Amino acid sequence: MPRMIFLNLPVTDLNRATAFYEAVGATRNPQFSDDTACCMVFSEAIYVMLTTHDKFRQFTPKPISDAKTSNQALFCLSADTRNEVDAIVGKAEAAGGTADPSPKDEYSFMYGRSFEDPDGHMWGVNWMDMAAVPPQPATANA
C-alpha cells in the first residue's frame, strides 16, 4: 500500500468548502463524509479532510488560527503541464477562491501559481520538467 497523506483543514462552511474543492478537481468520498467532515480525494495518495471547527477541535487543544490573517502551512499540488496549472487556478477562482495571492514561479524548468480557498488556506500548483532541472552542486563529505 502506498504511503498516503491526509490534510485536515478546519472550514467555516462545510458545504461551500466541499463545492470549492470539487470545483478544483477533488472528488468527495461519501464513505468518510458526514455533516461534520468531508473527505476530498485528489489522488490515490492525497486526501483533504474538510472539517467543521467543532470537529477539528476534537483533534487538538490548540486554538484554530484564522487562515485569512495568519499562516501555518502551505500546500502544493503537482500538475502535468503548465496549462493544467493555469486551469486549476482558474477553477479555484471561478469557485470563489483567490487566484495568485503569491507571486508566480516562472523558470525554464518550472511553472507555478497559487490560490487561496474561501477559508484562506493557501495552495500552490506547480509543473516541473524534471529533465530540465539544473543539477545540484556536489556536496563535500565530512
Q: Which three cell numbers stand for residue 140?
A: 563535500
Return the residue matching grid coordinates 516541473.
Answer: 128
Alpha carbons within 13 angstroms on the beta-carbon side of residue 16 total: 11
Mean predicted confidence (pLDDT) in 20-34: 96
pLDDT surpassing 70 at residue 141: no
pLDDT of residue 109: 87
Q: Which of 5-14, 99-108, 111-120, 128-137 has the lowest mean pLDDT?
A: 128-137
Gap between the Cα atoms of 124 and 109, Å rounded: 16
Mean predicted confidence (pLDDT) in 5-16: 95
Q: Which three cell numbers stand for residue 79?
A: 500538475
Gap between the Cα atoms of 35 and 84, Å rounded: 32
pLDDT surpassing 70 at residue 138: no
- List the beta bridge partners of residue 5: 46
Q: Which three cell numbers stand for residue 106?
A: 516562472
pLDDT of residue 19: 98
State the pLDDT confidence band at 48, using cuts at 50, 70 and 90.
very high
In this prediction the pTM is 0.83
pLDDT surpassing 80 at residue 83: yes
pLDDT of residue 139: 62
Contact between residue 29 and residue 50 where contact means Cβ atoms under 8 Å apart: no
Residues of the chain with pLDDT > 90: what percent?
Answer: 78
